[in-house]
Structure 1
Amino acid sequence: MKFNKAYSDLINKLPPSLVNEAWKRLLSRKKSPMTEEEASTINPIVELFLRHEVNRYQKKLKHQRKSWPLDNLSNIYNNETSTKISIDMVNQESQTQDTVPICEHEEEISCRVKKKLDSLSRQLLEFNEKTFDPFMQEITKRIEEQDNANNELRSEIDQQKLLLQETERKLEILKSKSTY
Structure 2
Amino acid sequence: MKFNKAYSGLIIKLPPSLVNEAWTRLLSRKRNPITKDEASAVNPLVKSFLRHEVNRYQKKLKYQRKSWPIVKNSLYNTDMSNQETQTQNTDPICDHEEEINCQVKKELDSLSRQLLEYNEKTFGSLMQEITKQFEERVNANNKLHSEIEQQKIKLYKAEKLLASLKPQ
- TM-score, structure 2 normalization: 0.46
Question: Which has the larger Rg?
Answer: 1
